[in-house]
Amino acid sequence: MNFPKVSFGHVTVARIILFQKKPPVSEFTDSVLFALERKENVVHIRLADSDTFYVNIDSENPELIRKSGADLSALVSAKKIKKVSLVSSLDEELNIAFLEGMLLATYEFDRYKSEASRKSIPDEIHLDKSYCSQSVLQELLHVCESVKIARDWVNEPVNFLTAEKLAEEFTKLSASAGFSIEVFDKTKIENMKMGGILAVNLGSPNPPTFSIMEYKPANAVNSKPIVLVGKGVVYDTGGLSLKPTEGSMDFMKCDMAGGAVVGAVLGAVALNKLPLHIIGLVPATENRPSGNAFTPGDIITMFDGTTVEVLNTDAEGRLILADALAFARQYNPALVIDLATLTGSAARAIGKNAAVMMGTADEATKEKLKTSGFKTFERLVEFPLWDDYKESIKSDIADLNNIGGPEAGAITAGKFLEHFTSYPWLHLDIAAPAFLKAQEAYRTKGGTGYGVRLLYNFLKNYR
Ligand code: BES
Ligand code: ZN
Ligand code: ZN
């Protein structure tokens, strides 16, 4: 046996009691009813050594309930409560939404912070037996853990998270979650003639990587794999087409968010043992100016032989993704979904409340992905992929140019990517929702992991 841990110091214990409409009968019922009349949905009863929060869940909407979970998480943190027990008379789905909001809101990127300045979060959460089933809880914990991993990677600056480090992180996760991985190094990428990745990497002192992750369980229901592709620009200075420091470069460590989501989703799928064959591809590099950097006007030859006139080195994401999308052809995939912090244009068009989606997959698949978007509140807005938009990526001296015109930048970037696909494909531009400058409920400041819960939900319901 283990003796209980005996130590000095006061531990604050809290009970959170969720109810709908009618509070449970207790000595506090009258005070709770009185508070409800005043339209207060959280009633805090404070005794000498314990706190009880009565939480009126005034809704069936999972997103509002996640937000309520995030609110309670903030209260628990502010009061430095270390042990929480959750009691509820709600349905399992709503209980899970509350816990999901609570857990995701506890996140803080604290690796570089001293103990004293870290956010206080509970180290134990106890659930009533009837709160949810063991398997549903386990699944939620794996998904939340995957979101946390994606957030950590996005929040890591490039002086830690180089392309090689990112591949190492994927390798560590592959071992703990249970999927396989192969990492192409610079020599292999050169031998493969992945001209887009190599061009973007030219200005960087650190070599590129190309990570190929695979989860292929014996009970996979899909005979053709689903391939996920993520942009892995570990830092985007713009290259020689340098971004202005003020505002637009500050947060560009987030430019590998698509790649982070792909790695984290492989982790979630493997941990929860979904019966699906899934492949994840992440081309990764920095985009920097230097004496050797690729230069506006350069004509480069991509992995599939397409030539591209580089008119702006800041439109680098599409160059590395194009090589990965062309590489994906060999798998004869049922579906390819790429995620990328690709354009300021997508961010300007719809902001941080949704990702821009476009692609050639059939309507039914698009609908399913959009439905997962609404369910997880990682919503998608579809943009057109009409051929009219192809005009602006034509070049007089090469097959394509990499900037498109002054208008519809998110779409012309999509048209550029489409050129390298030959299978049902969807492109998600997550430029705005991938990274927040201030916390919004359970979406904490910095990397959000936007796309992990969306794709996990889509894959879980696949077919
Ligand atoms: N990484 C940026 C896009 C971006 C912008 C991500 C804001 C997150 C927040 C991308 O590489 C880029 O610079 N795109 C250019 C393309 C243009 C030069 C054609 C853009 O959108 O301005
Ligand atoms: Zn760029
Ligand atoms: Zn970029």
Distance CA 63, CA 421 (A): 35
* Residue pLDDT, tens place only, 82-126: 999 999 999 999 999 999 999 999 999 999 999 999 999 999 999
Q: What local confidence, expressed as pLDDT, does residue 48 receive?
A: 77
Atom 5 of ligand 1, residue of closest alpha carbon: 344
Residues 214 and 238: beta-carbon distance below 8 Å: no
Average pLDDT of the segment spanning 331-359:
98
Q: What local confidence, expressed as pLDDT, does residue 7 receive?
A: 67
Q: What local confidence, expressed as pLDDT, does residue 56 receive?
A: 96
- Residue showing tokens 């400041």: 445
Average pLDDT of the segment spanning 424-446:
98
What are the φ and ψ backbone dihedral angles of 301, each rounded to 5 degrees? Answer: -110, 125
* Residue pLDDT, tens place only, 126-164: 999 999 999 999 999 999 999 999 999 999 999 999 999
Strands 209-215, 180-184: pairing is antiparallel
Helix or strand (DSSP H, E) at 338? strand 335-340
* Residue pLDDT, tens place only, 405-418: 999 999 999 999 99
Closest CA to 381 of 354, 412, 346, 418: 354
Predicted confidence (pLDDT) at residue 1 exceeds the cutoff of 70: no
Closest CA to 448 of 353, 347, 333, 335: 353
The residue type found at 365 is: T
Q: Which of 82, 243, 390, 460 is catalytic?
A: 243
Structure tokens at 80: 């430095």
Residues 212 and 299: beta-carbon distance below 8 Å: no
Strands 50-56, 42-46: pairing is antiparallel
Residue 103 zone, left/alpha/beta (φ > 0; ψ -120 to 50; rest): alpha
Beta sheet of 13-19, edge-to-edge order: 42-46, 50-56, 13-19, 83-88, 124-127
Q: What local confidence, expressed as pLDDT, does residue 30 receive?
A: 92
Distance CA 215, CA 280 (A): 9
Is 318 known to be catalytic? yes
Q: Which of 318, 366, 379, 453 is catalytic?
A: 318
Decide: pTM greater than 0.75.
Answer: yes
Distance 236 CA to ligand 3 centre (A): 5
Closest CA to 77 of 112, 47, 110: 110
Distance 212 CA to ligand 3 centre (A): 21
Structure tokens at 256: 């590998």
Closest CA to 181 of 212, 223, 136, 139: 212
DSSP string, 388-443: GGGGGG--SSSSEESS--SS-HHHHHHHHHHTT--SSEEEEE-TTTTEESS-BTTB
Distance 239 CA to ligand 3 centre (A): 10
Distance CA 59, CA 41 (A): 11
Structure tokens at 111: 């690796």
Predicted confidence (pLDDT) at residue 434 exceeds the cutoff of 80: yes
Is residue 320 very low, low, confident or very high in pLDDT (cuts 50, 70, 90)?
Answer: very high
Question: Does ligand 1 have an atom closer than 6 angstroms to the CB of 347?
Answer: yes
Predicted confidence (pLDDT) at residue 70 exceeds the cutoff of 80: yes
Distance CA 43, CA 45 (A): 6
Closest CA to 82 of 101, 106, 99, 66: 106
Is 243 known to be catalytic? yes
Distance 192 CA to ligand 2 centre (A): 24
Q: What local confidence, expressed as pLDDT, does residue 9 receive?
A: 66
Question: Does ligand 1 have an atom closer than 6 angstroms to the CB of 312?
Answer: yes
Question: Does ligand 1 have an atom closer than 6 angstroms to the CB of 239?
Answer: no
Q: What local confidence, expressed as pLDDT, does residue 405 receive?
A: 93
Distance 389 CA to ligand 2 centre (A): 20
Please tell me the least confidently modeled range out of 123-137, 190-204, 207-221, 264-278: 123-137
Q: What local confidence, expressed as pLDDT, does residue 8 receive?
A: 72
Q: What does the CA dihedral 84, 90, 91, 96 come to, rounded to 10 degrees?
A: -30
Please tell me the least confidently modeled range out of 17-21, 203-207, 260-264, 302-306: 17-21
Atom 22 of ligand 1, residue of closest alpha carbon: 344
Question: Does ligand 1 have an atom closer than 6 angstroms to the CB of 316?
Answer: yes
Is residue 49 very low, low, confident or very high in pLDDT (cuts 50, 70, 90)?
Answer: confident
Atom 17 of ligand 1, residue of closest alpha carbon: 315
* DSSP state for residue 450 in the 8-state scheme: T
* Residue pLDDT, tens place only, 211-220: 999 999 999 9
Query: Cα 27 to the chain's mean position, in Å?
Result: 44
Question: Does ligand 1 have an atom closer than 6 angstroms to the CB of 286?
Answer: no
Distance CA 346, CA 352 (A): 9
Residues 235 and 286: beta-carbon distance below 8 Å: yes
Tell me the pLDDT of the chain averaged across its residues.
Answer: 96
Q: What local confidence, expressed as pLDDT, does residue 127 receive?
A: 94
Q: What does the CA dihedral 212, 214, 318, 234 come to, rounded to 10 degrees?
A: -60
Q: What local confidence, expressed as pLDDT, does residue 203 receive?
A: 98
Residues 318 and 427: beta-carbon distance below 8 Å: no
Structure tokens at 73: 């998480």
Closest CA to 144 of 372, 375, 448: 448
Give percent above pLDDT 90 in the chain: 92
CB-hemisphere CA count at 13 Å for 284?
Answer: 35
